[in-house]
Amino acid sequence: MYDFARKEMKLSEEKAKEFVQTLDEFNSHHIDDSIATKLFVKDEVIQLREEIKRVEVSLTKAIYWSGLIQFIAIVGSVLAIFNFMVRK
């Protein structure tokens, strides 16, 4: 890369070294940022899975209680109709 910068880009030796050094620094920061981004995304996915599990448990409880209340309402309605029919 150094030879390319010096010959093809017609840079002085000092400028070519600086150019190559800058590219190396950029690449190292880019890799570090990529790793940090992947770790951040991994943490977010783990938190999202935990939140989904909590919502799933909460939703299951809500469905259970709703079904139980509907069952009690139906039984109460049938008993009320039966009671009304018996008294007449």
Alpha-carbon distance of 85 to 88, in angstroms, equals 6
User: pLDDT tens, 33-87?
Assistant: 677 777 888 888 999 999 999 999 999 999 999 999 999 999 999 999 999 999 8
Residue numbers of the domain that contains 74: 2-87
Domain tally for the chain? Answer: 1
The reported pTM is 0.49
The DSSP H or E segment spanning 4 is: helix 2-7
Percentage of residues in the chain having pLDDT higher than 90? 47
Residue at 8: amino acid letter: E
Indicate the burial class of 82 (C-beta count within 10 angstroms; 0-12, 13-18, 19 or more). Answer: exposed
Alpha-carbon distance of 70 to 63, in angstroms, equals 11
Do the Cβ atoms of 16 and 7 come closer than 8 Å?
Answer: no
